[in-house]
Amino acid sequence: MTNPLLRSDGLPAFDEIRPEHVQPAIDALLATTDEALERAVGSDTPADYDAVSAVLDTAVERLRFVWGAIGHLNAVADTPALRAAYNDALPKVTEQSSRHAADERLYAKYKAIAQSSGGAGSAHHLSPARQQALSNAMRDFVLAGAELQGEAKQRFQRLQELQAELSQKFSEHVLDATDGYAYCASAEELVGVPADAREASKTAAEAEGKPGHKVTLHFPSYFPVMQYGENRALRERLYTANATRASEMGPTDQDNSEVMRELMLLRQEEAQLLGYVSYADVSLVPKMAASPRQVMDFLRDLARRARPHAQRDLAELREFARTELGLDDLQAWDVPFASEKLKEARYAFSDQEVKQYFTEPKVLEGLFRIIETLFEVTIRPDSAPVWHPSVRFFRIERPAAPGSDGPAELVGQFYLDPYARPGKRPGAWMDEVRGRWARPEGRLQTPVAQLVCNFTPPLPSKAALLSHDDVTTLFHEFGHGLHHMLTQVNDIGVAGISGVEWDAVELPSQFMENFCWEWDVVKRLTAHADTGESLPRELFDRMLAAKNFQSGLQTLRQVEFSLFDMRLHAEPGSEKRIEELLDEVRDEVSVFKPPAFNRFQHSFSHIFAGGYSAGYYSYKWAEVLSADAWAAFEETAQAGGVLNVETGRRYRQAVLEAGGSRPAMESFKAFRGREPSIDALLRHQGMA
């Protein structure tokens, strides 16, 4: 009980967990989970859903909870000692997970459950949610190699361990390459860079006892220089460092070249063992899309529609850069700078001007009000151990019924970790601490989420300022969090985001982004950092006019990443020609190609370390769903704006509360009454 990871109740003791706690906790829980498996497959446990769950799911969920806490700390508070402890435990956890997932005895028990009522293959005695969970389980047993025998099965399990180790190594290389770069710039080199970014870089240099300004590859430090810095040489220096991260152009021990090749070989071998042509075919089995060809046709159709808009975007940018900025030869490191200047010239505002209105406290207050209004809940501060002083904790409650004296019902809780810092993985994400579950002992386990961003930290005695893109990111991650926390499904395998097809899981997150473009919402999100005034309507109108600025270029960029990912995993032998394949994709869909030294793929963590392998297309696929879902709110908008409680209730019940308890298309049709149309997406992006 002295090990904080082994305490049996409450939330993780993030403030007490140390690297030396990892091994003994994981070893103890692995042993407990193995014992539970033996009991679950034994004759004393009947082929009954509840009986198996009571024995096995309890142990598995405990291990998942603890391993999740360790993995989370590894992502947000990385230290050499914690990394070593995590990497030591990773093979053991992966080995057990893959072994259990392919256990023939457990597979046979689940088959017996499925056949135990109403004839062969029937599970009619189960609720619809449990039938879905059971169907997913049977599918996942096959994908985990449960039907393989002998050496093939042993090799399959070894493949899982090797892939987990390589994905972790890929992620570490990207983090180390990002953390490992810094440039000490002079004040003259930072001409044009906003004052808050200059001040933050000066503070960072002073903290290390150095003169000048410390500029890094962390986004809050890197991007203001790329977007506003007038020193072209500095932009080129930073772009080159960023574009070659974790490649052969940097330190050898951070090069992801061989990691990518090995991962692709292992994934292809896994597919062949399961009887599939490619890893892409395996990846799509639990997704909405039916085949790699369908995905690639979808992406190419989108590229065809977007290409004329992208060509106009680029021609306009080149002309502006030449005539107004003196940049006759527009390069990749000029694009953010020239684009910002063009946007300022065309729409007479800058992102920096807008940023002064989005103070973090006001944005959070407005976001919470939207959630409370639309989804009929309340959000209140709560307390729990945290991993960093800037992390906050909240609870979501459903108020007691009108006229009732009963207490509010706890729906879920969440941590918010908003700021960038060394040792924290770049990007933004939602992860689950635990899911909703009617536990076998009769207690309802409520869901808890982690919402992680990498915004610029506040300066002393000042509120953090968020760009409009930051605000959109925050709303996006909250969409994932609401999907996880507002579920009313009690079976843990299909509650919240669990069991949701990967290419539909972005629907709720992208849906939430739309609020950031509604005047009735935005005016409540803003209070100028100095005056406290809301964003002026006239400035918002200019922002709205600029909303689809370069949408053609942005669409082709996403198609490029998605098509590269799908072809990479759909074409056996691609590991020999990763760079060449990416060049082919760019030749096909892009209108502006990066320099030859660009090594984007070496830090493409989504597909090599983040679960999006042969699934990056999901962002564009789900955008079709989310744009059409948002259209329902546009159609029912009233004088007060889009916050129509009745529409919000229908969306909450059909999509958020249903979680993974039924196919995503069924949930979408339950809300919209029909299948989705691409028209709303094209209209929202100005490409109709």
366 and 483 share one domain: yes
Q: pLDDT tens digits, residue range 434-453?
A: 999 999 999 999 999 999 99
Distance in angstroms (rounded) separating the CA atoms of residues 92 and 97: 9
646 in a structural domain: yes
Residues 94-106 have a mean pLDDT of 95
57 and 119 share one domain: yes
Residue 646 pLDDT > 90, yes or no?
yes
**Catalytic site positions:** 477
User: Number of structural domains, the chain?
Assistant: 4
- pTM score of the predicted model: 0.89
674 in a structural domain: yes
CATH number, domain of 416, equals: 1.10.1370.40
Give the up-direction half-sphere exposure of residue 521: CA atoms within 13 A in the CB hemisphere.
24
Distance in angstroms (rounded) separating the CA atoms of residues 78 and 426: 12
Distance in angstroms (rounded) separating the CA atoms of residues 267 and 286: 16
Residue 183 pLDDT > 60, yes or no?
yes
540 in a structural domain: yes
- 68 in Cβ contact with 431 (< 8 Å): yes
The lowest-confidence range among 44-53, 86-95, 226-235, 673-682 is 673-682
Please give the C-alpha separations between residue 299 and each of 59, 289, 556, 618, 635, in angstroms, as whole numbers: 42, 12, 9, 11, 28
150 in a structural domain: yes
Residue 126 pLDDT > 90, yes or no?
no
The counts of H helices and E strands in the chain are: 27, 9
Of 211, 227, 245, which residue sits at a domain end?
Answer: 245
Binning pLDDT at 50, 70 and 90, where does residue 1 land? low
Distance in angstroms (rounded) separating the CA atoms of residues 413 and 381: 10
The pLDDT score that the predictor gives to residue 122 is 54
419 and 559 share one domain: no
Of 164, 199, 217, which residue sits at a domain end?
Answer: 164
DSSP 8-state symbol, 53: I
CATH number, domain of 295, equals: 1.10.1370.10
Distance in angstroms (rounded) separating the CA atoms of residues 498 and 660: 6
Q: pLDDT tens digits, residue range 592-631?
A: 999 999 999 999 999 999 889 999 999 999 999 999 999 9
Distance in angstroms (rounded) separating the CA atoms of residues 139 and 285: 9
84 and 21 share one domain: yes
Binning pLDDT at 50, 70 and 90, where does residue 684 land? confident
259 and 339 share one domain: yes
380 and 333 share one domain: no
Sorted by sequence, the CB contacts under 8 Å of residue 544 that are 6+ apart come out as 517, 519
The pLDDT score that the predictor gives to residue 8 is 76
Distance in angstroms (rounded) separating the CA atoms of residues 281 and 287: 10
Of 245, 265, 293, which residue sits at a domain end?
Answer: 245
169 in a structural domain: no
Q: pLDDT tens digits, residue range 461-516?
A: 899 999 999 999 999 999 999 999 999 999 999 999 999 999 999 999 999 999 99
The boundaries of the domain holding residue 287 are 254-349+551-616
541 and 407 share one domain: yes
9 and 59 share one domain: yes
Distance in angstroms (rounded) separating the CA atoms of residues 82 and 96: 21
507 and 377 share one domain: yes
The position carrying tokens 């009571």 is 54
Residue 546 pLDDT > 60, yes or no?
yes
355 in a structural domain: no
The pLDDT score that the predictor gives to residue 117 is 58
The pLDDT score that the predictor gives to residue 483 is 98
141 and 227 share one domain: no
Binning pLDDT at 50, 70 and 90, where does residue 120 land? very low
436 and 569 share one domain: no
Residues 318-324 have a mean pLDDT of 98
453 and 379 share one domain: yes
Reference 559, options 610, 623, 512, 477; nearest CA is 623
121 in a structural domain: yes
How long is the chain? 688
174 in a structural domain: no
